[in-house]
Amino acid sequence: MVEVVSLGDGSLVSPTHRLDVIGFFCPVPVAEAKKALSNMNAGQILEVWADDPETVHDMPLLVTRGKNIILSIEESAGELRFLIEVIE
């Protein structure tokens, strides 16, 4: 399980793709992340911004079903930043 840390204390890698789903609630953030990840290649990194608290549980579940890993989950003022790397 990846620990949620304060914004700025997570992974230092630079994302290659960004997805902003602030203001959207389940199932939109996970569905949009899944769609974005399916169009990415190994080694690319998706940065997802969300404010739905359920994404803390849902994004790790999405990652376990695919060929991806969560590099970090950061939080600030209710906004979450996920960095997800495509590994295959």
Q: How far apart are CA 77 and CA 39, in angstroms?
A: 30
Give the residue-averaged pLDDT of 47-75: 93
- Residue 49 in contact with residue 19, Cβ under 8 Å? yes
pTM for the model stands at 0.90
- Residue 53 in contact with residue 2, Cβ under 8 Å? no
**What confidence category does residue 66 fall into, taking pLDDT thresholds of 50, 70 and 90?**
confident
Residues recognised as catalytic: 26
Amino acid 6: pLDDT: 73
Sheet holding 79-86, edge to edge: 4-6, 68-76, 79-86, 45-50, 17-20
**What confidence category does residue 10 fall into, taking pLDDT thresholds of 50, 70 and 90?**
low
**What confidence category does residue 5 fall into, taking pLDDT thresholds of 50, 70 and 90?**
low
